[in-house]
Amino acid sequence: MFFSRIAILAALAGYATAQTSTDCDPTKKDCPPDPALGTEYSWNFNTTLDEKIWKMATGTYEYEDDGAKFTLQKEGESTLLQSNFYIFFGVVEAHVKMAKGQGLVSSVVLESDDLDEIDWEWMGYNTSEVQSNFFGKGNDTTFDRGGKHHVANADTEFHNYTTYWDQDILQWWIDGEMVRELPYNDESALFGKNYPQTPCRVQFSLWPAGRKEAPQGTIDWAGGLVEWDTAPFTMTLGKLRVKDFHSGKEYSYGDRSGSWQSIEILEGNSTALNELNKPEPKSLSEKWDDLGEGAHIGVYIGAGVAGALAIAGFLFFCLRQRRKGRLENALGNNPVPLNRAEMENFQKDWRQSEWKLNGGYQQVSN
Ligand SMILES: *[C@@H]1O[C@H](CO)[C@@H](O)[C@H](O)[C@H]1NC(C)=O
Ligand SMILES: *[C@@H]1O[C@H](CO)[C@@H](O)[C@H](O)[C@H]1NC(C)=O
Ligand SMILES: *[C@@H]1O[C@H](CO)[C@@H](O)[C@H](O)[C@H]1NC(C)=O
Ligand SMILES: *[C@@H]1O[C@H](CO)[C@@H](O)[C@H](O)[C@H]1NC(C)=O
Ligand SMILES: *[C@@H]1O[C@H](CO)[C@@H](O)[C@H](O)[C@H]1NC(C)=O
């Protein structure tokens, strides 16, 4: 059964404003262009979030080895991760573990500025099912478009939920099997008019639909009220592959029609592409890991020598300072002694110049 999205949204009011909302609807007025992805890329979400590409709009982002964790600890919380980029047709392959618990909804949503929408939704009360859905231009007057698909242990196992989307066909795939297909001309898409067809961003959310304040219909749809005393509830986003079928810098609406034919593509590298191509500033420990064992030993030996030199240099410096200090004491004009921070800076500068002088790691090899 599918309840009015408007009712659900009204119920969520303050909560999920961004869940299905738009800052600027280009079918109503002029809006800024949408930054494109313009390429294909895979994320593992096992590291800090690149904030040029992703935005944690609500809630907190935490990562572990197997992916991003979106967690609700207590009543009033919800999470929403949004891409800053948009894709204009493409593929979204999300490996997800849903959050278990009645009243909860985990989702992977593609959504455009004029509210075209493509959904995967997991109802927390059923860990053997995922629902598929779509909306065109925010039209939510009927709710007969949803699909239900069996999937085993959706809360404890990652499954591959892939959306394939182009101007002719929209497909939902689970673990390499197509479970649903929507042609552009389908009646349920009003023969194309309500077929999702404008640039979409990618969003992931975990939100409590079963809330005391919600209409009874919404609570029933969500399988009951969230049982907060059994919190925390966690949705995990593992690997994500997103492919934009267009390459370009930005997408903009050429008119108010909201049709794919009206979308204009500004050529050039997208902000996302430039960010993704940027060489990763490696941490020292990563550089260290990149070296082989032989090199490690080489560096230990080198470091031993450098360390000895450093200590010798430092002692010499101290002695000089002390001598200078004594002299200055004698003359009665003792300057402010080097404080601890200055000492540390001195040591750091010294190490760095030494480091550069020796060409960093380069001179050690296997
Ligand atoms: C993240 O996961 C990928 C794939 O499993 C792995 O290659 C990579 O080293 C991991 N990165 C971190 C920072 O753990
Ligand atoms: C919204 O969808 C309904 C049924 O799917 C349709 O009857 C109605 O004309 C649509 N409204 C608009 C504005 O397209
Ligand atoms: C859970 O989903 C499966 C697969 O769609 C369905 O067969 C089953 O009846 C559902 N269980 C509940 C409690 O809704
Ligand atoms: C996930 O499913 C899609 C669609 O079937 C497929 O193209 C892709 O290779 C799958 N990914 C993995 C990691 O198996
Ligand atoms: C655009 O991206 C490509 C790689 O996809 C890169 O080779 C090229 O230098 C970039 N151009 C600019 C102007 O940044």
Residues near 261 by beta carbon (within 8 Å), at least 6 away in sequence: none
143 alpha-carbon distance from chain centroid: 29
Q: What pLDDT score was predicted for residue 295?
A: 72
Identify the domain boundary among 276, 306, 337: 276
Regarding the beta carbon of 93 and ligand 4, being less than 6 Å apart is answered: yes
Among the bound ligands, name the one nearest to the CA of residue 222: 3
210, 46 Cβ separation under 8 angstroms: no
For atom 11 of ligand 3, which residue has the closest CA? 126
Same domain, 140 and 176: yes
For atom 12 of ligand 5, which residue has the closest CA? 269
Same domain, 147 and 86: yes
For atom 11 of ligand 4, which residue has the closest CA? 160
Q: What pLDDT score was predicted for residue 293?
A: 72
* Ligand 4 atom at minimum distance from 241 CA: 11
* Ligand 4 atom at minimum distance from 177 CA: 5
DSSP classification of residue 361: T
Measured in Å, residue 277 CA sits from the centre of ligand 5 at 8
For atom 9 of ligand 4, which residue has the closest CA? 176
Q: What pLDDT score was predicted for residue 302?
A: 63
pTM, full prediction:
0.78
Residue type, 352: Q
* Ligand 4 atom at minimum distance from 176 CA: 5
One of 40, 75, 77, 117 is an active-site residue; which one?
Answer: 117
Same domain, 142 and 242: yes
Measured in Å, residue 223 CA sits from the centre of ligand 1 at 36
Annotated catalytic residue 117: yes
Tokens of 303: 């470091």
Q: What pLDDT score was predicted for residue 280?
A: 72
Residue 172 located in a structural domain: yes
Same domain, 164 and 200: yes
Same domain, 26 and 159: yes
Q: What pLDDT score was predicted for residue 143?
A: 66
Q: What pLDDT score was predicted for residue 285?
A: 67
Residue 224 located in a structural domain: yes
DSSP classification of residue 109: E
Residues near 130 by beta carbon (within 8 Å), at least 6 away in sequence: 98, 120, 121, 122, 148, 149, 151, 154, 161, 174
Q: What pLDDT score was predicted for residue 316?
A: 52
* Ligand 4 atom at minimum distance from 164 CA: 4
- Average pLDDT per 10 consecutive residues for the chain, totaling 366 residues: 39 39 91 98 97 97 98 97 98 98 98 97 98 94 87 98 98 98 97 98 97 93 96 98 97 98 98 92 68 70 61 53 46 39 40 36 33
| Four-CA torsion 199, 55, 151, 178, nearest 10 degrees | 20
Measured in Å, residue 54 CA sits from the centre of ligand 5 at 21
Same domain, 107 and 45: yes
Give the chain's domain count.
2
- Separation CA 80–CA 205 (nearest Å): 4
- Separation CA 201–CA 167 (nearest Å): 16
Residue 284 located in a structural domain: no
For atom 13 of ligand 1, which residue has the closest CA? 47
Same domain, 300 and 152: no
Among the bound ligands, name the one nearest to the CA of residue 248: 5
- Separation CA 256–CA 337 (nearest Å): 71
Regarding the beta carbon of 139 and ligand 1, being less than 6 Å apart is answered: no
Residue 286 located in a structural domain: no
Same domain, 317 and 181: no
Q: Output the CA–CA distances (angstroms, integers) from residue 144 to 50, 64, 132, 141, 192, in the order listed.
A: 38, 38, 11, 10, 16
Residue 283 located in a structural domain: no
- Separation CA 235–CA 77 (nearest Å): 13
Measured in Å, residue 268 CA sits from the centre of ligand 5 at 8
Tell me the CATH number at 166.
2.60.120.200
Residues near 36 by beta carbon (within 8 Å), at least 6 away in sequence: 85, 86, 87, 88, 199, 244, 246, 247, 248, 249, 250, 251, 265, 270, 272
Q: What pLDDT score was predicted for residue 49?
A: 96
Residue 145 located in a structural domain: yes
Angle at 214 between CA 211 and CA 215, to 5 degrees: 140
Q: Is 321 helix (H, G, I), strand (E, B) or coil?
A: helix
Q: What pLDDT score was predicted for residue 224?
A: 97
**Residue 140, domain extent:** 5-276
Same domain, 232 and 304: no
175 alpha-carbon distance from chain centroid: 22
87, 199 Cβ separation under 8 angstroms: yes
